[in-house]
Amino acid sequence: MKRTFLSLFAASVLLSSCNCDKCEKTEANGNPFFAEYNTPYQTAPFDKIKFEHYKPAFLEGMKQEQAEVLAIANSTKEPTFANTIEAFEKTGELLSKVSNVFYAQKGFNNNDSIAKLAKELSPLETKHSADISLNENLFKRIKTVYDKKDDLKLSVEQNTLLEKMYEGFVRSGANLDADKKAKLREIDGKLALLTMAFGDNVLAETNGFELVIDNKEDLAGLPESVIGAAAEKATAAGKEGKWMFGLDKPSMLPFLQYSDKRDLREKLYMGYVNRGNNNNEFDNKKNAQEIANLRIERAKLFGFKNHAAYVLDKNMAKTPEKALELLNKLWDAALPNAKKEAVELQKMINKEGGKFKLASWDWWYYSDKVKKAKYALDEEELRPYFEINNVRDGAFALATKLWGVKFVERKDIAKFHEECQTWELQEADGTHIGIFYLDYHPRASKRGGAWMDSFRKQSGLGTDKEITPIIMNICNFTKPVGDGPALISPDEVETLFHEFGHALHGFFSKCRYNQLSGTSVSRDFVELPSQVMENWCFEPEMLALYAKHYKTGEVIPAELVKKIQAAGKFNQGFGTVEYLAASLLDMNYHTLTEPLTEDVMTFEKNYLEGMGLIPEIYSRYRSTYFNHIFSSPVGYSAGYYAYIWAGVLDSDAFEAFNETSLFDQATAKAFRDNVLSKGGTEDPMVLYKRFRGAEPSIEPLLKKRGLK
C-alpha cells in the first residue's frame, strides 16, 4: 500500500524508477538515488549506495512529493479519476525509492548510524505524511471524484483504488476537525518514535545476551553440529576455546531441545522470555503501555471504541468479536490437548527419575524424548536431508510443477550482503517476472524472525510501462558449521516455504496500480498465499524432489518419511496454544477502551492465567518483545490472529489439491488467476470463493492440527 494513502495500515512503500528532470540535474553529485539505476531490471546498486546518500535523498524525496501533491491539490481543473486519483497514485517515486532501500537495510543490516538516522527522520516523515493526509484541498478533490464514482464507468480495479484512497484519507484524519487533526499529528509522531524504540530495544536485548560455556561437561546431550556452531559463535565473539549460545532461534532452540543441563536451559530460555523486561536502558514495559494507550486515544478520534475495532473494520474479520470467536473456539479445542501433552512430558520426567515438575524450559527437551519414544523420530536424522540450498531448490521445483515458472541465478546483480543470493524468476517461455533476493542466516545487524518485503512492487499492467517486482525473503536459519553446509530443521523448512509463498504472491501480481498490487491485502488474507505453501513440505512426493542427503545425494528413505507423517500432529496442542496465547494477548491489549494503568507484565499475567494458560507454556510472544504488534505503528497489532484465520483458508485451499492431485496444474492456475494475481483489487472473500466455489470450512484446519 502506498505510504501516502496516509493510513497507519501502510504495510510497505513502493519503489519505482525515477525519471524526473530534478533527478537528472542532481546525478552529478554521485548519489545513486537521484538517477535512474543503470542496473539489470533497475535493481538497487548496493555496491554504490553509501550511508551519506540516504538523508539527502529522503529530504529531496519529501520535497518532490510535497510539490507533486500541491500541484494536484491546487489544480483549477475539474477533478477527474485521471488528474486526481491516478495522479496522486503516481506521486512520491523518489521518496519510495530511497525509503524501500533504507528501511530494508534497517531490518537486515542495522547499525548505530542507520538507527540514529531513522530516529532523526521519523518526525520529519510523520509530519510529511500528515501534511498530505490532512491537506483539505487534496481531500476535497478526491471526495469529489468519490461522490460521483457510480457514474464514472470505472473498472473493478479503478473502483477499488478510488474507494481505498478515499477511505485511506478518512482513516488518516481528513474528516476530523482542526483540534482532532492536531491531536492526531501528535499521537502519530509519538507512535512512530515509540514503536521504533521498541524494536531497537528488542534487537539490543537479543544481541546482548550470551550463554558462554567453558566446561565441556556442560555440553552434555548436544549434537556435534550444535557444539560446532556454538564454538564458531564464541570464536566470532572473541571467546576462543569456549562455546556460546544466544537468543536467535537457530542457536537457542537446539540447546533447549538437546541440552541435558536443566539449569542452563532455564538460563537461556528465561533470557529469551525476559527480553525488554530487565529494568535496564532497553526495558520495553513503559513503551508497550504507552503504545497501547495511544492507540486507544487514536481510535476514539475516529469514533471507534478501541484500536481493534478500527483495524478490523477493514479486515476480513470485520469486528474484534468475530476474530475472538475463532480464537476462543480453537483455544477450547487446543488447551485440553496441550494439557495432555504436559502430562506425557511429566511421565517422561518421572520415568527418568526427575524429581521436579515440568517447566517451560523443559518442554522442547522432553517433547523430543517423547517423540523419539513414540515415533522413533530424531530431528537430527532429518537435518542431513534438509541442506538449505536443496530445500530452496525444492520450493523452486514446487513453483515449477504448479505454474511452470523457472529460477535463474543472477551473478550480475549487486547484493546488499555477501550472504545474499540473487535470482531471476521467469515464465516457462523465459518471460521475465521479477528479481528475488534471498538472505537466509542470522547476524547481529539483522532483526529476528523471517519476512518477505519488496524493493519494488509490480504495477502498470495494461500500460506501456509495466513495472516488474523486486522481492526479498529475509530469514534467520541455522548457519553452516565449518566447511559444511547449512542443515536446517523441519520448522525452518516450513518457514522457508512460508516466506516463499509470500514472495510468489508478490511475483504473480498482475495489477495496474501499485497501491493494490501483490501483498497489499488485508492482514488476515495476506497469510493465505504463504501458509498454503507449507502444506506441501512434508508430502512424500514433495520430499522426493528436494530431501536429499547432502553428502550422498540419497533421497530421504521411505522409512523416515513414514515417521515424519506419523509424527505430523505431535505437539500440536503446545504449538497451537502458545500461538493462540499471543493472539489473544494482542486482542486483549487492543480491545481496551480505557488507558492501561497497570504494569504490562501484570496485565499479561492476569489475562493469560484467567484464560487458563498452564504455567508450563509461555505465550509465544510476551508483551516486552512482541515485535509483531509493538515495533511498528500498526504492523500486526490487533492482527496477530491473522495466521490462524488464514490457517482456515490455507487448509481449505489445500483440500482442492487433495481432491485432485498434489501438483494439479488446473487447480494451481485457478489459485494464481483468482488469488495470487489479484492483489487487493477485490474483496478477499470474493476472490477466495471464485477460486474455491464456496466459503472456507474450518474442518480441514481442525483435522490438520489434530484438534478434532
- Nearest Cα to 626, choosing from 617, 613, 615, 635? 635
Please, which residues have CB within 8 angstroms of residue 246's CB and are 6 or more apart in sequence?
206, 207, 209, 210, 211, 233, 252
Share in percent of the chain as helix, strand, coil (round to 5) = 60, 5, 35
Distances 534 to 260, 397, 658, 695 between C-alpha atoms, Å: 32, 14, 14, 21
Residue 658: HSE in the Cβ half-sphere, 13 Å Cα cutoff:
12
Active-site residue, selected from the candidate residues 379, 499, 616, 655: 499
Please, which residues have CB within 8 angstroms of residue 206's CB and are 6 or more apart in sequence?
246, 247, 248, 275, 448
DSSP bridge pairs for 467: 459
- The Cα–Cα gap between 166 and 148 comes to 12
- The Cα–Cα gap between 495 and 499 comes to 6
- The Cα–Cα gap between 704 and 587 comes to 25
Render 166-180 in DSSP notation, one character per residue.
HHHHHTTTTTS-HHH
Count of beta carbons in the 10 Å neighbourhood of residue 465:
9
Torsions phi, psi for 426 (to 5 deg): -130, 155
Q: Is 520 helix (H, G, I), strand (E, B) or coil?
A: coil
CB 600 within 8 A of CB 285: yes
Q: CA triplet 147, 150, 151: central angle to 5 degrees?
A: 100
Tell me if residue 341 is catalytic.
no
Our measurement of the distance from residue 525's CA atom to the centroid of its chain's CA atoms, rounded to an integer in Å, reads: 13
Residues with a known catalytic role: 499
